[in-house]
Amino acid sequence: MKKLIAPQNEKRVLLHCCCAPCAGAIIELMHLSDIKPTVFFYNPNIQPKGEYLRRKEEIVNYAQKKNIDFLDADYDAFRWLKSVEEFSQEPERGKRCERCFDIRLEKTVSYADQNNFKVFTTTLGVSRWKDLDQVISSGMRASMKYPNIFYWDYNWRKDGGSQRMYELAKQEKFYKQEYCGCAFSLRDANRFRQSQSQPLIEVGKNTY
């Protein structure tokens, strides 16, 4: 496997993580490339709180297993909601998601700045359900305010990254979330299920 080189050849990277399934293959690839990730968990978008705690528990356990530093940022769900509520009816990949990415990556780069990280990146773009260009634009926008910090815009899906993500999720029997994360995405996923006469999502139930 080809080793990756982070911007500025940095060996220490702040990795914003949305969940364990999306993080597994990225962490593995960084380790194989002799890069030390620090997991930064800041996802105030996730509702209900039981789902938030379940996703966090899974990535905490995985970070411990891999002996990786884990940073737990605030669950300021109210502020997140106030920031995106004007876009409550937007579809996934629309303006609400753009703002959601901005909120999370602005917090990540701010932490990087205060804690001497030169490079940050995110797991947000690894899922095929996300608009990768939207994620990259958010990361670049966040980093523009900090001239000495670089957003690593690597496409973690390529060179078998997506496949490895699913392999690891099954191997680790990670918790499998059935919707993106916010209450609006849960609403829309359930509306779709209803239209297909499928059972509604049961939070906290399935694993890979």
150: Cβ contacts below 8 Å, ≥ 6 apart: 7, 8, 10, 118, 119, 120, 143
Residue 138 is a binding residue for ligand SF4 (CB under 6 A): no
Rounded Cα distance between 130 and 172, Å, is 23
Query: Of the candidates 22, 27, 63, 100, which one interacts with ligand SF4 according to CB under 6 A?
Result: 100
Residue 76 within binding range of ligand SF4, rule CB under 6 A: no
Residue 96 binds to ligand SF4 (criterion: CB under 6 A): yes
CB of 146 to ligand SF4, least distance (A): 23
Nearer to ligand SF4, 153 or 188 (CB): 188
Decide if 106 contacts 99 (C-beta within 8 A).
no
Which pair of structure tokens corresponds to residue 146?
A: 């900090």
* Residues 6+ positions from 149 with CB-CB distance below 8 Å: 109, 112, 113, 117, 118, 119, 120, 143
Q: Which residue, 35 or 58, is less far from ligand SF4 as judged by CB?
A: 58
DSSP state of 27: H
Binding range to ligand SF4, per CB under 6 A, among 53-61, 89-97, 115-123, 146-154: 89-97
Whole-number Å distance between alpha carbons of 104 and 100: 6
Binder of ligand SF4 out of 10, 28, 92, 172 (CB under 6 A): 92
**Counting contacts by CB under 6 A, is residue 97 touching ligand SF4?**
yes
Interface region with ligand SF4, contact rule CB under 6 A, candidates 9-17, 64-72, 110-118, 180-188: 180-188
Q: Contacting ligand SF4 (CB under 6 A), which of 105, 135, 168, 182?
A: 182
Is 140:153 a contact under the CB 8 Å cutoff? yes
Nearest to 180 by CA among 23, 52, 83: 52
CB of 159 to ligand SF4, least distance (A): 25
Q: Contact positions toward ligand SF4, by CB under 6 A? A: 45, 92, 96-97, 100, 180-182, 184-185
